[in-house]
Each structure stands twice: as C-alpha cells, then as structure tokens.
A and B are shown apart, each in its own frame.
Chain A
Amino acid sequence: MTDPATEELALVQATLRGDQSAFQRIVELYQGPVYNLAYRMLNNAQDAEDAAQEIFLRVYTKLTMYDQGRKFSTWLFSVASNHCIDRLRRRRPIVPLDDLAFGLPSKEDGPERYALRSELKDVVQEALNTLPDHYRLVAILRYWNDLSYNEIVEVTGLSESAVKTRLHRARKMVADALEAQGELP
C-alpha cells in the first residue's frame, strides 16, 4: 500500500507536468475537507462552494511555488484558511443565516432523532459564529478537520502556545454560547 504523503507528492508532480487527471484526484481527495472548512467559516453554502472553487484554482495556480518538502495537506489548508479569512474581511458585516441546515448527515437516524441532531448542529454552528474569525478557524481545523497542534501551527503561522490558548478560549466561548442558548446544563 502506498504512503498517502508519497501518493500526494506523486500527484503534485504529475499535475506540474500537465496531467490534469492527477489534479482531479487531489480535488476528489480534498474537496470534502476544504468545503467543510469554508462552510463552517463562511456559514453559507453558496459562499462555501465559490470559496472552494477559488481555493483549488489558487492551489493549482500556485503549485509551482509549493515546497515539496512540506506536507501537501498542510499547505492546502493554509491556502484555504487565508482565502476564507480574506473573504470574511471583504464581506459585509451582516451574515446570512438562512441555510444552516444544509446537507447535515446521519443516514441511520430516524426522523425525530435526525431533527434533534440537526437542531443541535445548527446551534453549534450558531455558537461557532459567535467566535472571532481566528478563533473559529483554529477550532474548525482542530475539531472538524482533525489537524494536530503542529499542523495548525504550520497552517496558521501561530506559535503552539497561541494555538492552545485560542483553542481553549474557543471551547469556552462555544460552551458559553451553548449555555446561553440553553443547550448545555
């Protein structure tokens, strides 16, 4: 079985040689994590889709500048994070909250349980929206994208202690927001 890092590097090198099917494989591998990051950061399905397209286009365009000694996914998340933060800076201050229930999973759950879970996730997203952008980014990278502290350090350029502090505060803020909404005892 091929090591994922080796496979990614081979795909990057093939893309650089002009093999678009290799980049298609990269898109297939990472469209889920990138779309999720954009969706949780931007809180809007349409914006997340546009952002994901622009992120992959930017990755493709800047691939010649990618340092092949670094882990590809970390570099990709770094491009994606910067793009989402830029978008949030450019965005008008009012955030549309109309499509929060978009595409929530859970195939096995019955209708009642599904409704409860969906409601909970909406509440989580709302709590997430109360965090400042840089705190939200760190929380999403950790809990949704499952990145390690070191990977978050590489993606964001923060120190490890800053990452830990932001995560700690983000958890506290989410817990406070959930408590304020009556979702936590």
Chain B
Amino acid sequence: MRCQQIRSLRASADDPATRTLITDHIATCAACADELGALPLALMQPASVKPPPALAAKIMAALPPTPAIAAAQEQRASRRRRWVAAGWAVVLLGLLIIGTVGLLVDSSYPAALLGGVQSAVGRVALALTLAGKPMFAVLLNISVPLVLTTLIVGGAAVWAWRQLAQPLQPLVAIDGQEGQ
C-alpha cells in the first residue's frame, strides 16, 4: 500500500483493521515511520469543525463589486489612516515644542511673537502653550525615572548574569576519591 493511501486512512485510525494496516506499513516504510510512528492516535484522526452555515453569505455580502475596486478602496483607507496618524503626530509635536518654549522662556512668549495676547491668534497661541507645558513636564517626569529604572534593572541583570556565568569551584574530594 502506498504512503499516500496510508495517510488517507488516518481519519479512521481507531478501527482495529485500519490500525493494523497502518502499523504494518510503518514497519516497512522509513518515511512513514518517521512521521506517523511517533504520532499520537489523537492526531491520526484529526477532527474538522464545520463552518457556520451563514459564513459564505456573510463573506459575499461584505465584498466590493470587483477585486480592483476593493484594492483601490483599501489603498484609499490605508492612505487616510496614514494621514490621520501623521496629523496627530504633528499636533502632539507642535504642542510639545510650544509647551517647551513656554516653559523655558515664558508662557506668553509664543503669543507675543504672534501679535500679543490681546489678538485672537495670540490668545490661541497662549492656550496652546498652556496646554503644551504639562506635556513637557509629564514627559520629563516619566522619562527620567524610566531611564534610571532601566539602567538600575539592566545593570543588576548584567551583574547577576556575570555571577552565574563564573566557572564553578571544583568540588572537594570526599575520602580521597578524587579522580576515580
């Protein structure tokens, strides 16, 4: 019997006659012995699960008219996601920069550059500066302990690893049995 036929019998491997066929084949075939010999019976008869009856209908209902249209839609959505992410990054970075300037120079400094706090643009700049200042402070407060903790934990790990990696001292011989 050929290997492929034996493989197709796995599904009913709990039948004694089939098991004898498989066992006899394995005894004479190195390739099957390698693969099936060590295989638990449970894996010889893998159970397949039935998909839900409405699965195909749900898949078909979600499809755009053609694959080309689907690809174009996917490309547009992906581009939109990238723009949104880039927009958020610019906003956060802008806030961080203006907050840092406000913290290092003066809160009204960015507003003064844009016509003073009396002007509409200046008021917006002041509001953004006040919103950005805590961001800088939060970043500073988080990053310093984070870097310090990483250095301490990393250093301790390296030290412990070196201790473990040192060669062991030879054991003291008992009753002069060393070398036996």
Interface residues of A (CB under 8 A from B): 15-18, 20, 23-24, 27-28, 31-32, 35-36, 39, 45, 48-49, 52-53, 56-57, 60-65, 102-106, 117, 120-121, 123-124, 127, 139, 143-144, 146, 167-168, 171-172, 174-175, 178, 183-184
Contacts and interface: CB of A to CB of B under 8 A. Distances in A.
Q: Is the interface of A mostly helix, strand, loop or mixed?
A: helix
B171 interface: no
B115 interface: no
B92 interface: no
B42 A183 contact: yes
Given A53-B58, A178-B40, 12 more contacts: A16-B67, A27-B59, A31-B55, A36-B49, A62-B71, A64-B67, A64-B71, A105-B47, A144-B46, A167-B35, A171-B38, A174-B43
Interface residues of B, number: 30
Contacts of B63: 20, 23, 57, 60
Contacts of A31: 51, 55-56, 59
Contacts of A49: 51-52, 55
B60 A27 contact: yes
Contacts of B42: 120-121, 123-124, 127, 174, 178, 183
Interface of B: 7, 35, 38-40, 42-43, 46-52, 55-56, 58-60, 62-68, 70-71, 73-74
* Of B35, B42, B70, B73, most A-chain CB atoms within 10 Å: B42
A146 B38 CA distance: 17
Contacts of B7: 146
A59 B55 CA distance: 15
B40 A57 contact: no
